[in-house]
Amino acid sequence: MIVRMWEVRAYPRTFTDLLNWVCDVAVPRLEVEPRHVASEVFSSTDLRVVVISRWRGEPMELPAPPEGLAARSAHVWDFSPVDR
């Protein structure tokens, strides 16, 4: 299992549009992939949107947000579970 964390920051004026795009366009593209297990979307008061997705094998890339919605490019980290 691989867990991917994808994070992007919006401009104040584009936060709602970015969040809607993530929920209505980006995450549904992941959910149809056979290796996809689950995804969650989070938002923060400092205008960030985070997607945590779980995968069997190599994760699929989220598309880049539409021009003008993100204050900077997305950051991505992959994690693996730790047995303890």
Per-residue pLDDT of the chain (84 residues; tens, 9 = 90+): 999 999 999 999 999 999 999 999 999 999 999 999 999 999 999 999 999 999 999 999 999 999 999 999 999 999 998 998
The structure's pTM equals 0.93
Token representation of residue 46: 């400092």
Residue 68 lies in a domain: no
Between the alpha carbon of residue 48 and those of residues 2, 6, 12, 22, the distances in Å are 22, 10, 10, 11
Give me the residue label for tokens 């003008």: 68
Q: Residue 34 belongs to a domain with what CATH number?
A: 3.30.70.100
Residue 49 lies in a domain: yes
Domain range enclosing 47: 2-57+74-79
Dihedral angle computed from the Cα positions of residues 23, 28, 30 and 36, in that order, rounded to the nearest 10 degrees: 100
Residue 21, classed as helix, strand or coil, is helix
